[in-house]
Every structure is written in structure tokens, then in C-alpha cells.
Amino acid sequence: MRRSLARTISTWPRTLNNLVLTYYTQGRYKQAEPLYKRALSIYEKSLGPDNPDVATSLSDLAGLYLAQGRQAQAEPLYKRALAIHEKALGPNHPDVANTLENLAALYRATNRDTAAEPMVQRAARIRAIKR
């Protein structure tokens, strides 16, 4: 029973994210946002605040904000996601590269190309690592 409950808890945010992705691709951002927040909350409570799944959920919510032009709300989420990914997965993990690219896109969207460039370069170095 306990194992089944744990499995249900761990898959529930993924199910929410699948629904959110549908809303997001349809441009239904108002419907997507509370579901992104709910998935994030479930991950934080069930996995802890420093889990890579929390970081991915943070990036997803930040991406929604960025798509809506809400860069000020997206930036701290991307920064937190980057910190979690680096700590949990190491500085050269592909998920770190993804988050760096997302943050760089935000910086470019806010005319901060100088801040974006080192992130793009670092992401490229990470992607060049043979695994």
C-alpha cells in the first residue's frame, strides 16, 4: 500500500504537467499556470526543495511566465532551477545546459545580451562533453 501511494504521488505531478503542456501549446496560459504551481508544490513537498524534478518544474513555470512576457517572475525561478540542477546533478549535466539556455533566452528577451553570452557558451561546453 505504501509503495503504491508513493508511486501515485510521484506520477501525479507528471500527469499535471502533461495536461499543462496541452494548455501551454494551445496558448491557454491562465489554465496552465495554477496546474504548474500545483505540480511544483507536490514535487517540493514529496521530494524536497532541492530535487532535480523540482528544478524542472521551476523551469517549466518560468517558461510559461517568459511566454507571457512576465520576465521578472521567470528570472528567479530559472536561477533557482539552475542552482538546484548544479547542486544535485553536477555542473556539467545536460539539465544544467538546458537551464542555462533558458536563462540566456530570458536575458536576451530583456536586452541583456552581455549577461546571456557566458551562459550560452557554458551550455555549449557542457553539450560538447562526450558521455
Domain boundaries in the chain? 2-128
Q: Quickly count: other Cβ atoms within 10 Å of residue 9's Cβ.
A: 14
What SS3 state is found at 110? coil
What SS3 state is found at 26? coil
Domain at 2-128: CATH code: 1.25.40.10
Q: Quickly count: other Cβ atoms within 10 Å of residue 100's Cβ.
A: 25
Model confidence over 47-74: pLDDT tens digits?
999 999 999 999 999 999 999 999 999 9
**C-alpha cell of 24?**
501551454
What is the pLDDT at residue 78? Answer: 98
Model confidence over 109-124: pLDDT tens digits?
999 999 999 999 999 9
Contact 111, 71 (CB under 8 A): no
What SS3 state is found at 51? coil
Radius of gyration of the chain from its Cα atoms, rounded to whole angstroms: 15
Q: Quickly count: other Cβ atoms within 10 Å of residue 91's Cβ.
A: 10
CA distance 69 to 58: 16
Model confidence over 13-47: pLDDT tens digits?
677 778 888 898 899 999 999 998 998 998 899 89
